[in-house]
Structure 1
Amino acid sequence: MSTGRVAAVSRNTTYAFSKPNHPSVRLLAGLGVEGDVHAGETIRHRFRMTYEPDLPNLRQVHLMHEELFEELALKDYEVSAGQLGENITTRGVDLLALPTSTLLHLGDDAVIEVTGLRTPCSKINDFRTGLLGEMFALDPHSAEFTFTCGVMAVVRRSGAVHPNDPIEIELPARPHRALERL
């Protein structure tokens, strides 16, 4: 297992693009982040709830790598933890390179399973004009465009998560399956 760390944790009780940072969040198995509007067994994404309300919620927890904010700053976009709607901001974990079904052990108890890539929405441009275009990159292996704005996960084991908690990565058995958009 390799390790990284939690840089920040965020949640919001209402539907809003950004999520305020908190000293800790509690992850609930099968549901998501306690007190977050996206927690639930079935899909909680506002648009998708209108036409697929009974689908399992594979987007219980949104993770984004803090290194993305540094890349965006080089292009004059100031972004910080929680502002793009993520629940857990990471440091030292190449989230986008993880295979589907990777387990992330967060802090002392919590375990989440990576389910796919976050699909960026047009609201990113409402937050910062032109930022949506920065959420795509050319995949050097496939020569296709991929998303760069984090990954989604489901909670497998409940637990509290705090900034500076360690993240241990447990890869699934081979063959690995690349992340797909959710």
Structure 2
Amino acid sequence: MIDNFISNLQHGIYHVVHINAYEHILFLIVLSLPYFFKDWKRILLLITIFTVGHCLSLSLVTYNIVSLNIRVTSFLIPLTILIVSLFNIFTSGKKTHQSKFGFLFFITLFFGLIHGLGFANELNGLISASENKLLAILEIALGIEIGQLIIAFIVIFLSFICQTIFRFSRRDWIMVISAIVLGSVLPILITNELFS
């Protein structure tokens, strides 16, 4: 029982922090970028909502409620990164992240569903082999949550360092990093198999 828990937890963490999960990491970068340590409740809520989206997707695929089209999912995931990057670029230096939190809440949940479909393909076999599928999904989701919080902490810490020690303005920092992420995701979208 405890071995299964640790294994599922590790799989959840691994699927977020592994280098092959770079699209997931890019999304977490642009999601966390506008926030400071003092916003920890807000970022925790956003990350948890994103995890809930993953959990719902895993459940829907595991119980054969939704079928998975890998081509569409592999297009939608970088599209979510593009949308959040553009949102950051156009709202950097403004209070939008504070005032439009309900909007961000629902968008993050929806994007979590999309990213969860990307994970579902890899994790479905592991979940299906488990005696208690729902418990396996929750254990993996806990691992995903921990992995996402690790990435968010690193992003917020680097933001703090660059804005306090290197004196980047908050607006410039958000715009530059979001533009870098945007530039790295555009080729993924353009060369996507959906259009070939």
TM-score class, shorter: under 0.3
Q: Which has the larger radius of gyration?
A: 2
Whose strand proportion is higher, 1 or 2?
A: 1
**Structure 2 length as normaliser, TM-score?**
0.26
Whose helix proportion is higher, 1 or 2?
A: 2
